[in-house]
Structure 1
Amino acid sequence: MVIVIQIEPARQDDVLELIAASDAYMASLYPAESNHMIDIDELERADFRLFVARDNGKLVGCGGWKKTGQDTAEIKRMFVSPSARGSGIGRRLLHAIEADALAAGIQLIQLETGVSQPEALGLYRRQGYHEREAFPPYAADPLSVFMERQLSDGKPNNP
């Protein structure tokens, strides 16, 4: 396994297919009003950085961060293909996202995920994220879990 994680454009056939798989997975878990995914146009905005993970060139995961304030950002579009889950790709993507955000001056990184995703919740908790109340633009939702992590806390994020 040779994993390469880097920033790439969203409008590539394999990236679009992975995003469609992510959309279908989320739609199978949650009603539309509890899905808070951003579309391809938002992935191409200047305030969004999309990372992709490739195993020997094959796309196996993606995720990125969106600037939401002077020193805050939100993680969006984290998804690892089912065939690659359990191999540490999600953790490696998360570390790349955090390092890039910190280098850009982000101090606090937040995310919204769902109650029906225990693997994602476990990953975020192991990496130092803790639960919090809903943050803008979200409203409280019993199917959502809101989390955050101080990037500037001086603690390593368990590579």
Structure 2
Amino acid sequence: MSVALGRRARIGQFESFDNPRRIVDNSRMNTDSRRHRSSSGNLLPIRHVPTFMTIAFEPPDQPDVIALIADLDAYQDTLYPPESRHSLDLASLKLPNVLFAVARDSEGQAIGCGAIVLHSDFGELKRMYVSPRGRGQGVAKKLMAQLESRAKDCGCKLIKLETGPYQHEALALYASTGYERRGPFGAYANDPLSVFMQKHIAA
């Protein structure tokens, strides 16, 4: 996963009336009406940012979501050999025990996604990714919070994950949201190119 952590603004969120699980973030204005001066005293151009962001549980087999997942795969191809990659394919993401969430910008384009696979005694966080155009807005943390909340509603108490040592932003994100390192779990081998973490989300 590739996530760039940006400075968080005040968050103003509400649940939309048509979908109580669809979270709308209206904390960012469409344009910044104030111009800021650089260190040289010159006026900087107005920065345009998304009006709001939505996060909803959606099917993964949508063209823009498929493209997002393809971007994640292409990125991970540059970091790890095939034998050290443990991605879920599209068919696996559509299974009934998988929670799959998508973050969309003000234009309705997919800018982030993530999944939790529900097992009998834990959930596994998979396919976390935020596109470059969606970074710096806290998208990853919001996605994770929604996924963890839904998993908790499903009776899940523990979330585990496997990621790689070269994804420093992801490791920092997970640590900042309460994940702690642990040993291999499930069918994973003790691979030096794997980092295992977990987080208790319920007592």
TM-score by structure 2 length? 0.73
**Which string of whole-angstrom CA distances, capped at 9 and with x for unpartnered residues, describes residues 62-90 of structure 1?**
00100122x31100100000222222000
Q: State the secondary structure of the residue aligned to 2:190.
A: coil
User: 2:88 matched to 1:31?
Assistant: no
Unaligned runs of 5+ in 1: 154-159
Distance 2:91 2:165 in 1: 27
Question: Which residue of structure 1 lines up, in the alignment, with residue 113 of structure 2?
Answer: 62
User: 2:176 matched to 1:126?
Assistant: yes
Question: Which residue of structure 2 lines up, in the alignment, with residue 93 of structure 1?
Answer: 143
**Which string of whole-angstrom CA distances, capped at 9 and with x for unpartnered residues, describes residues 111-130 of structure 1?**
00110111100110000000
Q: State the secondary structure of the residue aligned to 1:29.
A: coil
**CA positional deviation for 1:92:** 0.4
Q: State the secondary structure of the residue aligned to 1:49.
A: strand
Question: Which residue of structure 1 lines up, in the alignment, with residue 31 of structure 2?
Answer: none
TM-score by structure 1 length? 0.93
Unaligned runs of 5+ in 2: 1-49
Distance 2:53 2:189 in 1: 37
Distance 2:187 2:118 in 1: 13
Q: State the secondary structure of the residue aligned to 2:78.
A: helix
User: 2:167 matched to 1:117?
Assistant: yes
Number of equivalent positions: 152
- Aligned-pair Cα RMSD in Å: 0.8
Question: Which residue of structure 2 lines up, in the alignment, with residue 105 of structure 1?
Answer: 155
Q: Which has the larger radius of gyration?
A: 2
Question: Which residue of structure 1 lines up, in the alignment, with residue 197 of structure 2?
Answer: 147
User: 2:167 matched to 1:79?
Assistant: no
Percent identical pairs in the alignment equals 45
User: 2:97 matched to 1:47?
Assistant: yes
Q: State the secondary structure of the residue aligned to 1:135.
A: coil
- Runs of 4 or more consecutive aligned structure 1 residues displaced over 3 Å after TM superposition: none
Distance 1:128 1:11 in 2: 31
